[in-house]
Copies of this chain bind each other. A is one copy, B any other.
């Protein structure tokens, strides 16, 4: 196996970057005349504070940021958030109620506007927060404020994502020789996940997909005990988390010698994917890559088999903004990282999907995944 050090992310997130993120967020908070934002989504908590635990709420105010977490993280939390200038509190009871009480106790006079993201708080949590915060707080929507920052990746973030993309590409190269009749989908998924960790990933960024034969017609098939057979398409879709950031790669191979019609389908998807990638650029609508990929498949009568959108943003989470889909109006910008992954799915026969991770820079794009896209006949 390749030496893991080659794949180590070259840069870390510096304390100054966390402080910069908090500064930008505070600007957004004050533009809305809010006194604080309650951050409840864990990837957002991690992005702003460096905290990696599985329970945490971050309250961001103009002059301070406070993390509420539980006893399991009593040692870890202060270590992780201190560089970002964040203070950690371990309340004896529910962290949500503690955050509500904390905010309530700080709003002594008059009414205060406190923001939360309605996509990241359940109805029950909202009720709890309102109750513990008390009647003086006026709760407002802070929809996507942190995601708006996460959308544009900094150079150290792009460097990590490049390393994660190369890592999963290396895993694919290593797994290709194992693809042959008789191995099960689960065997291959196990090999993929094992190898990504041996190369330094902390784990898969989503449940690895290996779908063979007619099962490849299910775009989101989970791997099963089904054995690969001769004359089957195999879709492999996997991503690695390296230093917190996700990658996402799909390749489709053929077991045996592909027929002319399979080859024609494969060429069509590959062409559609190339058209999608070519349409990715700073300044264009985020619907453009989808339209470009769809045009190619439509022209070959395959559009009806392309049942999902063309791609999605990627970062700390496997699915982020922007969406590359019909009807999306947002402009693509430098600093975004997106997948481009058209596919066709034919019931009873199988499916073909090809996916790369693409970083948008000023004036150019960078395909970060490097695995071959030739049709491999194994």
User: Would A72 and B219 be within 8 Å (CB), given that A123-B126, A197-B186, A200-B186 are in contact?
Assistant: yes
Q: How far is the CA of A220 from the CA of B308 in the complex (A)?
A: 37
Give chain B residues whose Cβ lies under 8 Å from the Cβ of A217.
75
Of B187, B208, B225, B345, the contact of A75 (CB 8 Å cutoff) = B345
Of B75, B122, B127, B197, the contact of A218 (CB 8 Å cutoff) = B75
Of B70, B123, B143, B197, the contact of A118 (CB 8 Å cutoff) = B123
Q: Is A285 an interface residue (CB 8 A)?
A: no
Among the 9-residue stretches A158-166, A188-196, A248-256, the one with 4 or more Cβ atoms under 8 Å from chain B is A188-196
For residue A244, give the distance in angstroms from its CB to the closest CB of chain B. 10
In chain B, what residue has the closest Cβ to A75? B347
A200 close to B220 (CB less than 8 A): no
In chain B, what residue has the closest Cβ to A319? B54
Q: Is A120 an interface residue (CB 8 A)?
A: yes
CB within 8 Å of B: which A72-126 residues: 72-76, 116, 118-126
A: number of interface residues (CB 8 Å): 48
A197 close to B189 (CB less than 8 A): yes
Q: Is A178 an interface residue (CB 8 A)?
A: no
Give chain B residues whose Cβ lies under 8 Å from the Cβ of A53.
220
Give chain B residues whose Cβ lies under 8 Å from the Cβ of A127.
118
Of B122, B193, B347, the contact of A121 (CB 8 Å cutoff) = B122
A222 close to B143 (CB less than 8 A): no
A76 close to B221 (CB less than 8 A): yes
Q: Is A15 an interface residue (CB 8 A)?
A: no
Q: Is A271 an interface residue (CB 8 A)?
A: no
Q: How far is the CA of A127 from the CA of B123 in the complex (A)?
A: 10
For residue A152, give the distance in angstroms from its CB to the closest CB of chain B. 23
Q: Is A335 an interface residue (CB 8 A)?
A: no
Q: Is A156 an interface residue (CB 8 A)?
A: no
Q: Is A132 an interface residue (CB 8 A)?
A: no
Give chain B residues whose Cβ lies under 8 Å from the Cβ of A308.
70-72
| A residues adjacent to B (C-beta < 8 A) | 52-54, 70-76, 116, 118-127, 143, 186-187, 189-191, 193-194, 197-198, 200, 202-203, 207-208, 217-223, 225, 307-308, 345, 347
With A119-B125, A187-B197 already in contact, 8 other A-B pairs whose C-beta atoms are closer than 8 Å: A71-B307, A71-B308, A72-B308, A74-B307, A76-B220, A190-B193, A200-B225, A203-B207
